[in-house]
Amino acid sequence: MIGGWNFARRPFRNERPVLATIAVALLAGLVLLAANVNLYVGFSKRVQGTRAEIDRLETRRARADRSAEQARSALNTYKLSALAEESAGLQTIVRERRFSWLALLAQLERSLPTDVRLTRLNPHFGTSDAVEVDLAVEGRTGDSVVRTIAALSKSPAFQRVDLRSEATPEHGVPEGYTFQILLRYLPPESR
């Protein structure tokens, strides 16, 4: 053995500084290892919290995307329903413009008895081709109400003839018998 364990021999080799240096280096290594482990554990905890935060933000983003998509589809549906309403309004305007007042007045002239006169005529244009017409009529006798409703009911141009109100000379109407009728008029092109 080159440098055995025999401490009684001369010259004595003093290995204490080397052992002290090794011990200090080992102790410093253990302290640094403990510090590194402590840093790693703290970093892992922070990363784990950051991962949880990222996952939470990702779920919020996915929820916001779904909500935005639902809002977009609702808006598109609203746009379609608004377009449908606007289209129905435009179709009503077209029906009003295409409506022949002369044909309605000629049909009323042919249908109404001679002893009644028309005092008010108010058409209401709906979604169908038929036009709701509100008539105010005056007759000379009480029998004119029955004859007017019968004459309008016989005409193929009028449907759903409905007597709305009636006023007689006994109820303060000096002109005669006044009555209101609501009916449906079918224009010649829709018969």
Looking at per-residue confidence, does 187 or 8 come out higher?
Answer: 187
Look at residue 62 in the predicted model and tell me its pLDDT.
93
Rounded CA-CA distance 121/102 in Å is 13
Centroid of chain to Cα 5: 96
Rounded CA-CA distance 111/148 in Å is 8
Look at residue 65 in the predicted model and tell me its pLDDT.
92
pLDDT-above-70 percentage for the chain: 87
Whether the pLDDT of residue 172 is over 60: the answer is: no
- Work out the angle at residue 39's Cα, subtended by the Cα atoms of residues 34 and 43, and round it to the nearest 5 degrees: 150
Take residue 115 and report the two structure tokens written for it: 């002893």
Whether the pLDDT of residue 114 is over 60: the answer is: yes
Look at residue 143 in the predicted model and tell me its pLDDT.
85
Look at residue 167 in the predicted model and tell me its pLDDT.
76
Whether the pLDDT of residue 36 is over 90: the answer is: yes
Look at residue 10 in the predicted model and tell me its pLDDT.
66
- Decide: helix, strand or coil at residue 38: helix
Sheet of 116-125, strand order = 116-125, 131-139, 177-185, 158-167
Take residue 179 and report the two structure tokens written for it: 């009555």
Look at residue 30 in the predicted model and tell me its pLDDT.
96
Give the residue-averaged pLDDT of 41-51.
Answer: 87
Q: How confident is the model at residue 7 (pLDDT cuts 50, 70, 90)?
A: low
Q: Residues 28, 29, 34, 38: what is their CA dihedral angle, to the nearest 10 degrees?
A: 100
Look at residue 1 in the predicted model and tell me its pLDDT.
46
The length of the chain is: 191
Q: How confident is the model at residue 3 (pLDDT cuts 50, 70, 90)?
A: low
Rounded CA-CA distance 152/129 in Å is 19
Give the residue-averaged pLDDT of 89-111.
Answer: 84
Buried b (16+ CB within 10 A) or exposed e, 27-41: eeeeeeeeeeeeeee
Task: Kindly report the average pLDDT of the chain as a whole number.
Answer: 84
Q: How confident is the model at residue 27 (pLDDT cuts 50, 70, 90)?
A: very high
Look at residue 191 in the predicted model and tell me its pLDDT.
61
Centroid of chain to Cα 86: 16
